[in-house]
């Protein structure tokens, strides 16, 4: 007889597979593309763009890249995933440049800048009105974000760089 614990262990093992991470990444990227379309990718003017949609796009794009790079890391470093516990990610799990470094995925200076920006969105900027650590207020310019919100403008170049990087990592996966 299959017990609830057996089912839990099986489900945890399946959810810890690189394919599960890649599938989640693909869903997040799809959601980011829907938001990108609503943001107005064909609008040449940044005036009137919805800052909330820009922030949501950056958050979803950051999570999509985080999940796809974690899928690759699980393939390259299966030691990250131990039975009965979630993977232990280098750099705490949200540091996108660190995750890409650990997976030996080189990136251009444009990709580096985007990964640095997206790291802030997945750790706090896309989720909270302020960072969870006071020291981040100064180091990431968060104070001006909180006291006088600046619109999040996402450029066509940001979008192109993100799509290219995502596709490149997806192509490195063996499935």
Read out DSSP for 82-132?
Answer: -TTS----GGGS--HHHHHHHTT----HHHHHHHHHHHHIIIIITT-SS-S
The predicted structure's pLDDT at residue 148: 44
In angstroms, rounded to a whole number, what is the distance separating the alpha carbons of residues 16 and 136? 31
The predicted structure's pLDDT at residue 122: 93
pLDDT at 96 over 70: yes
In angstroms, rounded to a whole number, what is the distance separating the alpha carbons of residues 93 and 85? 14
Chain segment 105-161, per-residue pLDDT in tens: 999 999 999 999 999 899 988 888 777 887 877 777 655 555 444 556 789 999 999
In angstroms, rounded to a whole number, what is the distance separating the alpha carbons of residues 21 and 169? 12
pLDDT at 90 over 50: yes
Q: pTM, whole model, 2 decimals?
A: 0.88
pLDDT at 170 over 50: yes
Chain segment 19-32, per-residue pLDDT in tens: 999 999 999 999 99
């Amino acid at each position: 007889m299959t017990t609830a614990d057996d089912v839990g262990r099986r489900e945890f093992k399946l959810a810890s597979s690189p394919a599960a991470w890649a599938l989640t990444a693909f869903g997040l990227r799809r959601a980011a593309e829907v938001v990108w379309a609503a943001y107005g990718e064909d609008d040449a003017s940044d005036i009137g763009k919805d800052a909330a949609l820009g922030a949501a796009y950056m958050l979803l794009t950051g999570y999509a890249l985080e999940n796809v790079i974690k899928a690759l890391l699980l393939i390259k470093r299966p030691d990250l995933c131990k039975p009965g516990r979630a993977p232990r990610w280098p750099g705490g799990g949200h540091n996108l440049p660190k995750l890409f470094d650990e997976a030996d995925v080189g990136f251009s200076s444009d990709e580096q800048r985007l990964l640095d920006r997206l790291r802030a969105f997945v750790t706090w900027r896309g989720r909270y009105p302020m960072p969870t650590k006071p020291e981040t207020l100064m180091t990431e310019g968060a104070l001006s974000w909180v006291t006088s919100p600046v619109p999040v403008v996402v450029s066509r170049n940001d979008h192109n760089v993100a799509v290219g990087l995502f596709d490149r990592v997806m192509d490195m996966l063996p499935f």
